[in-house]
Amino acid sequence: MAGLVALDTTFLIDLQRERAHRRRDGPAHRFLAEDPDRELHLSATALGEFSEGFDDPDDPVLRTMRELHVLMVTDEETALVYGRITRRLRTEGRLIGTNDLWIAAASVRRAIPLVTANSQEFARIEGLEIIGYR
């Protein structure tokens, strides 16, 4: 059954490494093969983190990544979700990295599960459904 998922930067990096080493049997490729009809979403923050590895924004790998995913823009509601999540975690003394907070906020705001290898940190976020792939 096809569904929506958002991809964390950890997934994108693993996928790119697998492709660079021609390993179609790695965990990222296996995840994608489980349900090839999934609709893949990408937060603007995850795209920014991933694009850091490229000198040219028109690099074919980066261009393909941008074309194959539905971009989740950071809108007003995402910003408000980010604020709520950050405040709660800061109050509890369990804060995670800023970019991870934005990535999580985009998924929580849209109720889309997040595919990540960083489950331990993202598990701190109430209301975020996490899918591990490793």
Cα first-last separation, the chain: 21
Angle at 117 between CA 115 and CA 118, to 5 degrees: 100
pTM, two decimal places = 0.94
Distance in angstroms (rounded) separating the CA atoms of residues 27 and 70 = 22
Cβ atoms of 39 and 2 within 8 Å: the answer is yes
Single out the residue of 57, 51, 58, 42 nearest to residue 102, CA to CA: 42
For residue range 31-86, list pLDDT tens digits in order. 999 999 999 999 999 999 999 999 999 999 999 999 999 999 999 999 999 999 99
CATH number assigned to the domain comprising residue 9: 3.40.50.1010
| Structural domain count, the chain | 1
pLDDT tens-digit profile of 95-105? 999 999 999 99
What SS3 class is residue 21?
Answer: coil
Domain that holds residue 121: 4-132
